[in-house]
Amino acid sequence: MAGSNAEQRYLRWFMALLLGPAIVLILAVVAYPFFFNVVLSLSNMNIYHIQDWRVIGFQQYAAVFAEPRFWEVLFKTVVWTVVNVFFHVTLGVFLAVILHQKFIRGKSFWRVLLILPWALPQYITALTWRGMFNYEYGAVNLAIAKFMNMAPVAWLTSPFEAFLAAILTNVWLGFPFMMVVALGGLQSIPQELYEAADVDGASPWRQFWSITAPLLKPVMIPAVTLGMVWTFNNVNVVWLVSNGGEPNDQTHILVSFVYEAAFSAYRFGWAAALSMVIFAILFTFTQVFLKKTNATEAAY
């Protein structure tokens, strides 16, 4: 769209007008708070020093790494992320492959019902599952008693079970996203590949690993990266299923841990430093993951 000088100037103004408002808002509500958070992470701000805070250097970072619970919660967060994303992808791809088969009738009917957990607001999912994990009246224990003849499980009052309850809830709400992505990927795999494999007598299992899996990979890698980041940072589910870390502040992942440090204990400086650490972990992870899987072109 090259043209005269006047035209060039006009275009420059036009572009500035389109960009300006968004840039101003992004600077004000994203960039500025980010740099303020960096400053806070170097400060002593807490409940006793709300107004008269000052920059004290890297002490808060040292305090984060010296905190024994940090390592414990970090470990839990890794388990949480890996287990959740593993089941999201496995279930999602499994259901997508089933649903993609030619003979299945009523595809959109099944698809809509299976997407339901994604459509439901996350906090309602979490609060509802918390109700369903209730010891006496919750549907989960009632079903366990009725169909499996087992003793009820103390889902929300013991640390391991509470963490498991949060994982089950999050697996439930997360598989439809992967299913939708996988369905999109399956549509782009040419049918002839399967026909050729059939002629060669390859079993469906063999066909999945030799054709479907490798061809789905480029579509799934960005989705898995996104899924890892979302899951790692999902404060909703853990916080609401465990009602803020119950029992006894045992049910935490890093984000719920820092959320509590900030807004229940008002350890602002410490929480800001921990936020930076969480961000650094995720940033490093995604860079390495994307490089290892060679998916950078697809993601950018």
Partner 1 sequence: MAKSGGSNPRVLLGRLASYAALVVFTLIAVYPVLRIITISLRPGDQLLSTSLELIPAGASLANFKELLFETRFLRWMFNSIVVSAVVTVTGVALASTAGYAMSRYRFAGRGALMSGLLVTQMFPATMLLLPLYVVLINLKLLDSYIGICIIYSATALPFCVWQMKGYYDTIPVALEEAARIDGATPWQAFRQVILPLAAPALVITALFSFMTAWNEYVVANVVLQNVDNFTLPLGLKMFQASMSTQWGLYAAGSLLVSVPIVVLFLVLSRFLISGLTLGAVKG
Q: Interface residues for partner 1 in 165-224 (CB under 8 A)?
A: 172, 176, 180-181, 183-184, 194-195, 198, 204, 207-208, 212, 219, 222-223
Distance of CA 44 to the CA centre of its chain: 31
Residue 135 identity:
Y
Count of CB atoms within 10 A of residue 217's CB?
A: 15
Interface with partner 1 in residues 245-274 (CB under 8 A) = 254-255, 258-259, 262-263, 268, 271-272, 274
CB of 207 or CB of 293, closer to partner 1: 207
The angle, 0 to 180 degrees and rounded to 10, between the axes of the packed helices 68-100 and 213-232 is 140
CB of 163 or CB of 260, closer to partner 1: 260
Closest contact distance (angstroms) between CB of 250 and partner 1 is: 20
Closest contact distance (angstroms) between CB of 160 and partner 1 is: 22
Q: Say if CB 167 and CB 83 are below 8 A apart.
A: yes
Closest contact distance (angstroms) between CB of 48 and partner 1 is: 15
Q: Say if CB 81 and CB 227 are below 8 A apart.
A: no
Check residue 238 for interaction with partner 1 (CB under 8 A). no
Within 8 A by CB and 6+ apart from 120, the residues are 173
CB of 55 or CB of 98, closer to partner 1: 98
Q: Which residue has the tokens 């005269």?
A: 4
Interface with partner 1 in residues 105-164 (CB under 8 A) = 110-125, 127-132, 136-137, 139, 142-143, 146
Q: Say if CB 140 and CB 151 are below 8 A apart.
A: no
Query: Cα dihedral sign for 190, 219, 89, 179?
Result: negative
Pick one of 158, 250, 286, 293: the residue that binds partner 1 (CB under 8 A): 286
Residues 64-93 as x/- pattern, contact with partner 1 by CB under 8 A: ---------------------------x--
Widest distance between CA atoms in the chain: 82
| φ and ψ at residue 173, rounded to 5 degrees | -85, -10
* CB-based burial label for 147 (10 Å; 0-12, 13-18, 19+): exposed
CB of 91 or CB of 167, closer to partner 1: 91
Pick one of 63, 74, 83, 99: the residue that binds partner 1 (CB under 8 A): 99
How far is 255 from 233, CA to CA, in rounded Å? Answer: 6
Pick one of 2, 52, 103, 149: the residue that binds partner 1 (CB under 8 A): 103
Count of residues that interact with partner 1, criterion CB under 8 A: 106
CB of 56 or CB of 143, closer to partner 1: 143
Q: Please spell the DSSP secondary structure of 171-214, one letter per residue.
A: HHHHHHHHHHHHHHHHHTS-HHHHHHHHHTT--HHHHIIIIIHH
Pick one of 67, 70, 74, 94: the residue that binds partner 1 (CB under 8 A): 94
Pick one of 2, 5, 102, 151: the residue that binds partner 1 (CB under 8 A): 102
Interface with partner 1 in residues 1-60 (CB under 8 A) = 1, 10-11, 14-15, 17-19, 21-23, 25-26, 29-34, 36-37, 40, 45, 50
Closest contact distance (angstroms) between CB of 128 and partner 1 is: 5
Identify the DSSP state of 39. H
CB of 68 or CB of 106, closer to partner 1: 106
Closest contact distance (angstroms) between CB of 258 and partner 1 is: 5
